[in-house]
């Protein structure tokens, strides 16, 4: 009874005007450490669909021309970043003697889009439930840290919104945390971060196909259809003037939905899940994440890549 009450109080807080994405995530983490989640399976399923719906809704507040410009360059940056992250992740995994499948899943989650990439590639590799849990736990822990720290780091380094949006999109794992951190930093950062992140998410398809060919797997390839719906939403917002009032409401609903998603994600990250991760996979994830974050930050600050 106490857990249910605390859970619903957390949901109400996430839906309130006082909640922001970082605060909602923090509230979820606090709940996870002081109570037993009464709806854990339902919450995980709901957070997946809520995130995708929220991202689509956010598209109604963005310019299609800006998405097109950012997407063209972002696709190239993400291709280079993914290749770099997969290569470094493999080397770190071998050095730490992390088992092959969890190592590959952690590298893929870091390179592409966190939990979504792991969920897509895991069945293709034949990963067990424990291996999936370890990999997901690793990226979710680091997602939480990134969402809570990246805006402060960006502000301390006096990064522009364009720079921060690009950095968040290239260095944070999950779409939810990228959008949450970018939204905290500003509207321009949100537009750039979301667009480049979704360009990064599209790489689920070729990486899944490549993994299936390598493993001779016939598992079903998951296509991130919500990315295409996000683009259609931006098209509607840019070219259907009659719907501007309702589109604005959709965009606001997307921000609220994202905040609630982050509470649900935080609430699902229990101490037991953290314990299951173990030191080596977590260390691999931390080291890989630091390398990706630092390298992407340096190249952005040097002006080698721009939004």
Average pLDDT, stretch 109-121?
A: 82
**Above 80 in pLDDT, residue 217?**
no
Question: Does 132 score more than 70 pLDDT?
Answer: yes
Among residues 285, 278, 283, which one has the least CA distance to residue 106?
A: 285
Of residues 63 and 288, the one with the higher pLDDT is 288
pTM over 0.85: no
Identify the weakest region by mean pLDDT among 61-65, 67-71, 181-185: 67-71
Predicted confidence at residue 216, as pLDDT, reads: 64
> What's residue 185's pLDDT?
94
C-alpha–C-alpha distance, residues 73 and 57, integer Å? 23
Query: Which range has the worst mean pLDDT, 124-138, 211-225, 240-254?
Result: 211-225
How far apart are the C-alpha atoms of 61 and 262, rounded to whole Å? 20
Residue 100: its pLDDT value, please? Answer: 87
Residue of 131, 130, 143, 80 lying closest to 104 (CA atoms): 131
Eight-class DSSP state of 203: T
Q: For the chain, how many helices (H) and strands (E)? A: 15, 0
pLDDT over 80 at 174, yes or no: yes
Residue 168 has pLDDT above 90, yes or no: yes
How many angstroms separate the CA atoms of 192 and 207, rounded? 23
DSSP-assigned states of every residue in 49-87: HHHHHHHHHHHTTS-HHHHHHHHHHHHHHHHHHHHHHHH
How would residue 78 be classed by pLDDT, with cut points 50, 70 and 90?
A: confident
Sign of CA dihedral 130, 112, 262, 48: negative
| Residue 277: per-residue pLDDT | 65
Look at residue 252 and tell me whether its pLDDT is greater than 80: yes
Q: Using the Cα atoms of residue 58, residue 62, residue 68 and residue 70 in order, give the sign of their dihedral.
A: negative
Q: Which residue has the higher pLDDT, 218 or 199?
A: 199
- Residues with Cβ within 8 Å of residue 125, at least 6 apart in sequence: 101, 104, 105, 211, 215, 217
CA atoms of 91 and 95, how far apart (whole Å): 6
pLDDT digits (tens, 9 = 90+) for 255-306: 898 889 888 888 887 777 667 667 888 899 999 999 999 999 999 998 877 7
Span 175-197, average pLDDT: 90
pLDDT at 218: 66
Residue with tokens 């919500």: 226
Closest CA to 207 of 279, 107, 103: 107
Q: How confident is the model at residue 134 (pLDDT cuts 50, 70, 90)?
A: confident
Measured between alpha carbons, how far is 260 from 179 in angstroms, rounded to an integer? 13
């Amino acid at each position: 009874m106490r857990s249910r009450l605390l859970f619903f109080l957390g949901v109400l807080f996430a839906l309130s005007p006082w909640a922001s994405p970082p605060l909602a995530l923090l509230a979820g983490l606090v709940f996870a450490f002081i109570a037993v989640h009464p709806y854990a399976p339902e919450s995980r399923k709901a957070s997946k669909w809520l995130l995708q719906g929220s991202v689509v809704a956010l598209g109604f507040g963005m310019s299609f021309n800006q998405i097109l410009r950012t997407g063209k360059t972002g696709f190239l940056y993400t291709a280079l970043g993914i290749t770099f992250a997969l290569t470094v992740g493999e080397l770190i995994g071998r050095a730490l003697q992390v088992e092959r499948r969890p190592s590959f899943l952690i590298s893929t989650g870091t390179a592409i889009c966190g939990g979504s990439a792991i969920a897509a590639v895991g069945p293709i590799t034949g990963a067990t439930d424990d291996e999936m849990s370890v990999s997901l736990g690793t990226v979710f822990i680091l997602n939480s840290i990134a969402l809570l720290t990246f805006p402060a780091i960006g502000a301390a380094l006096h990064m522009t919104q364009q720079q921060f949006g690009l950095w968040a999109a290239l260095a944070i794992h999950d779409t939810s945390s990228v959008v949450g951190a970018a939204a905290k930093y500003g509207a321009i950062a949100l537009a750039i971060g979301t667009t480049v992140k979704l360009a990064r998410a599209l790489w689920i398809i070729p990486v899944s196909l490549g993994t299936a060919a390598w493993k001779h797997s016939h598992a079903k390839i998951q296509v991130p259809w919500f990315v295409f719906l996000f683009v259609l939403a931006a098209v509607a917002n840019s070219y259907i003037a009659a719907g501007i009032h309702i589109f604005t409401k959709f965009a606001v609903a997307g921000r609220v939905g994202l905040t609630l998603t982050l509470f649900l994600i935080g609430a699902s990250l229990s101490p037991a899940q953290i314990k299951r991760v173990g030191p080596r996979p977590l260390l691999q994830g931390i080291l890989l994440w630091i390398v990706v974050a630092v390298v992407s930050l340096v190249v952005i600050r040097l002006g080698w890549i721009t939004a």
